[in-house]
Amino acid sequence: MLFMQLKNKVVIISGATSGIGKACAFTFGSAGAKVVITGRSQPKIDNTLVQLQKAGIDCMGILADVASQDDNEQVAKETIAHFGKIDILINNAGISMRALFKDLDMKVFHQVMNTNFWGAVYLTKACLPQIIANKGSIVAVSSINGFRGTPARTAYTASKFAMNGFFESLRTEVMKLGVHVLVACPGFTESNIRNIALTADGSPQKESPRDESKMMTSEEVANAILSATVKRKRDIVLTSQGKLAHFLNKWIPGVMDTLVYNHMAKEKDSPFN
């Protein structure tokens, strides 16, 4: 059923050489879509394309920095030139950070916002005419942090709150045009995002402070996004912990402040210690 609905649809996925983005490339491609992946590393793009092609997926890769408006416009142009259209856009590219705001170099804050928020805005703007014409879908891979802030992740939280607000507003603009907008909010997901999360000075923290083996896998998130896209859902919140945080933050936000602080303070090498 999913194969028939996605057959020959053209899907752009930003930041698709690892984690959720890469999983989405395989999941949507295996369901019959033609897949365009973007990333900032040509070797990683080439390696991912080889894997996708071995799986029988029609695909192409574009070297692009999602924080660049010009690069995003080029992604849309090259996709149309190669496949003739754009049906689905998955705004996945993102980076995280971990440092107390009082210690944070503001260049890190700008870098996170430029990638997570502005990158999604630029690519959506570039692809929107095609998606309107094809009555397609726009997916924002946001986070539980899009509605509940966590300490030591001020920039990341701000970027995800901004994404949620932008896509909610956009959804209301285009809903009468047949365009579907999905905001997907995973909880903690097994990926390399914590390994490359930026510290106070902008250097990667390298080692995840959490047990990745106990988290939802990127493949599980990708499958949930695929299902929600086909069903044209408004939003999805993933993981039981994420759903609980979403619920409790609505009703007992003050208590949640303490619960979240205590939870994050227990992380390995927590900046609170």
Our CA angle for 36, 41, 47, nearest 5°, is 65
- pLDDT one digit per residue (tens) for the chain, 273 residues: 555 689 999 999 999 999 999 999 999 999 999 999 999 999 999 999 999 999 999 999 999 999 999 999 999 999 999 999 999 999 999 999 999 999 999 999 999 999 999 999 999 999 999 999 999 999 999 999 999 989 999 999 999 999 999 999 999 999 999 999 999 998 876 666 546 789 998 888 766 555 556 678 999 999 999 999 999 999 999 887 878 888 888 888 888 788 888 888 787 777 776
Tokens of 107: 């260049």
Contact indicator for 162, 145 with CB cutoff of 8 Å: no
CA 113 to chain centre: 13
The per-residue pLDDT for 243 is 84
CA distances to 70, 84, 147 from 77, rounded to whole Å, are 11, 9, 34
- The residues assigned a catalytic role are 156
Which amino acid would we find at residue 94? G
* DSSP states of 37-71: EEES-HHHHHHHHHHHHHTT--EEEEE--TT-HHH
Contact indicator for 182, 154 with CB cutoff of 8 Å: no
Q: Which residues of 237-255 are buried (b: 16+ CB within 10 A; e: fewer)?
A: bbbeebeebbeebeeeeee
Query: Which residues are registered as beta bridge partners of 209?
Result: none
Q: Which has the closest alpha carbon to 232: 149, 160, 131, 101?
A: 131
Residue in this structure with the two tokens 């502005």, named with its chain if needed: 118
Residue in this structure with the two tokens 């994050």, named with its chain if needed: 264
The per-residue pLDDT for 169 is 98
The per-residue pLDDT for 256 is 79
Give the chain's domains with CATH numbers: 2-265 (3.40.50.720)
